[in-house]
Amino acid sequence: MNKLLLLTGLVLLLQMQLGSSFKLVCYFTNWAQYYPAPATYMPDNVDPCMCTHLIYAFATMNNNQIAPFEWNDPTLYASFNALKNYNSELKTLLSVGGWNYGTSGFNTMVSSSENRQTFINSVIKFLRQYDFDGLDIDWEYPGDSDRGSPPQTQQQFSVLLQEMHEAFVQEASQSNKPRLLMSAAVSAGKSTIQAGYQIPQLSKYLDLINVMTYDLRGSWEGFTGEDSPLFQGPADQGGYIYFNVDYAMNFWKDNGAAAEKLMVGFPAYGRTFTLSNPANNGLGAPISGAGPAAPYTQEAGFMAYFEICDFLKQDATVVWNSPQAVPYAYKGSQWIGYDNQKSFQIKAEWLMKNNFGGAMVWALPLDDFSGKFCGQGKYPLMNTLKSTLGISFPNCKTPTITVAPNTAQPATAAAPTASGSDGNSGFCVGKGNGLYPNPKNKSGFFNCLNGHTYQESCQTGLVFDSSCNCCNWA
């Protein structure tokens, strides 16, 4: 018995020294810079000592080539990837696509060898230029006719991943740099998975398979339900028995995905509903529509975790849904299905027990990153995952200086081109990456990136405000 205890102790000690084998994959969203203060979120708000992988969402595509989406993406890329200066183990990826991007761009890109090669070449150049460690593809969804993807895109997606992997291996050999990583955000719905993915092929070429095990219920169903239930509910019937984390993750694994590559999706938000009858407020209750837009995220039917904390403070009734291991809450006609620290811990313990690769979180700006809303400290959901999964970075140094957030309207500019016609081409030489006021034009500013000067200007009626590095009313 003493030998067994000693051996167990040595194993635990070794695990502590080697660190956790689980991954914590975290999405950053470039539109959170427009949330009203104090919810405004920038790369400088990211704790570099929290996640193993950070994914920047979203880039777009133009003419089968990857491209920035937001006006200031190149500046944010620099701040985002500078987080690796604090944590040498951190990996950063750039995600292309997203729900709002749709499918037509992906359909065209994968449709021919020439188009795929154009995309892959642009990705390699772009990721190396901006110091990303890999690409994340968020195509929602290949093979999904309801979303506009023809059936052949299922197989074409596999071909893209194979060709991209081969190109990444070749580029790494030629550049003598680590191979660029490949990940994809994929569906958790059984029929969507079957139509969209050749699972063994995806598992062969992807480093991370980020399963979006959330949005499993929403106001589109016509009745209340949990956003990300761990298990099937007692009242679930028909196809609804498939819409839970346990079923979705095991479906991926049982159909050919390597468990260690599968990341379980965790939502730092909830789905909201307006009840048809406030007296009927349980699971499956009829609704009249989505809940109203919350004050910060401003999207009907959606509420960030920090906004949920405010809702709960208003004498809302909280119910623990034990069969599905998640809570829900209601007040008057408003109902929300969501996750909290307790459900995050239970799911994390479940994924560890089932030997999945780790957790993926959508998204960092939705947690109470400042600690001002929930009274649970900074990043309560993220820190629950980090501690449960046993993730630590002994050599990581948390930055002590943060940049003032962008609290006003963004500047508008076309894709920046290096200035020179006005004699300011050398403005950024010797300066750090970032935005600087143009002393000759109150509405203008310079965007400095790696010593290159890009001249941009604010919308009509706005001036550049150095206090927030943003365009503001005069």
Count other Cβ atoms within 10 Å, centred on residue 286: 12
pLDDT at 397 (0 to 100): 87
Pairing of strands 317-321, 326-331: antiparallel
CATH architecture classification, 21-267+341-389 = Alpha-Beta Barrel (3.20)
Residue at token pair 């070749």: 170
Decide: 413 and 71 in contact? Cβ < 8 Å.
Answer: yes
What is the distance between the alpha carbons of residues 243 and 125, in angstroms, rounded to a whole number? 39
Annotated catalytic residues are 140
Burial 203-225, CB ≥16 within 10 A → b, else e: bbbbbbbbbbbbbbbbbeeeebb
Count other Cβ atoms within 10 Å, centred on residue 36: 11
Query: Which stretches of the chain score pLDDT less than 50?
Result: 1, 4-17, 401-423
Joined together, the tokens standing for residue 343 give 């459900």
What is the distance between the alpha carbons of residues 417 and 423, in angstroms, rounded to a whole number? 14
Torsion sign over Cα 349, 351, 357, 358: negative
pLDDT at 461 (0 to 100): 58
ω before 411 within 30° of 0 (cis)? no
CA distances from 177 to 89, 125, 128, 180 (A): 15, 13, 10, 9
Residue-wise pLDDT for 81-136, tens only, equals 999 999 999 999 999 999 999 999 999 999 999 999 999 999 999 999 999 999 99
Three-state secondary structure readout of the chain: CHHHHHHHHHHHHHHHHHCCCCEEEEEEECCHHHCCCCCCCCHHHCCCCCCCEEEEEEEEEECCEEECCCCCHHHHHHHHHHHHHCCCCCEEEEEEECHHHCCHHHHHHHCCHHHHHHHHHHHHHHHHHHCCCEEEEECCCCCCHHHCCCCCHHHHHHHHHHHHHHHHHHHHHHHCCCCCEEEEEECCCHHHHHHHCCHHHHHHHCCEEEECCCCCCCHHHCECCCCCCCCCCCCCCHHHHHCCHHHHHHHHHHCCCCHHHEEEEEECEEEEEEECCCCCCCCCCEEEEECCCCCCCCCCCEEEHHHHHHHHCCCCEEEEEHHHCEEEEEECCEEEECCCHHHHHHHHHHHHHCCCCEEEEECHHHCCCCCCCCCCCCCHHHHHHHHHHCCCCCCCCCCCCCCCCCCCCCCCCCCCCECCCCCCCCCCCCCCCEEEEECCEEEEEEEEECCEEEEEECCCCEEEECCCCEEEEC
Q: What is the amino acid identity at position 114?
A: E
Decide: 52 and 358 in contact? Cβ < 8 Å.
Answer: yes
Joined together, the tokens standing for residue 129 give 């230029």
pLDDT at 435 (0 to 100): 76
Q: What is the amino acid identity at position 437?
A: P
Residues 6+ apart with CB under 8 A from 51: 24, 25, 26, 90, 361, 382, 386
The domain locations on the chain are: 21-267+341-389, 408-474
Residue-wise pLDDT for 159-189, tens only, equals 999 999 999 999 999 999 999 999 999 999 9
Q: What is the CATH number of domain 408-474?
A: 2.170.140.10
Burial 83-103, CB ≥16 within 10 A → b, else e: bbebbeebbbbbbbbbeebeb
Overall size of the chain counted in residues: 474
Torsion sign over Cα 405, 411, 412, 413: negative
pLDDT at 444 (0 to 100): 80
Decide: 333 and 305 in contact? Cβ < 8 Å.
Answer: no
Residue 92: closest CA among 124, 48, 122: 48
Q: What are phi and psi of 275, to 5 degrees?
A: -70, 145
What is the distance between the alpha carbons of residues 451 and 446, in angstroms, rounded to a whole number? 11
What is the distance between the alpha carbons of residues 227 and 299, in angstroms, rounded to a whole number? 15
Residue 308: closest CA among 375, 361, 243, 245: 375
pLDDT at 243 (0 to 100): 98
Residue at token pair 């623990």: 320
pTM here is 0.83
Decide: 449 and 81 in contact? Cβ < 8 Å.
Answer: no
Q: What does the angle CA 96 – CA 102 – CA 104 come to, to the nearest 5 degrees?
A: 95
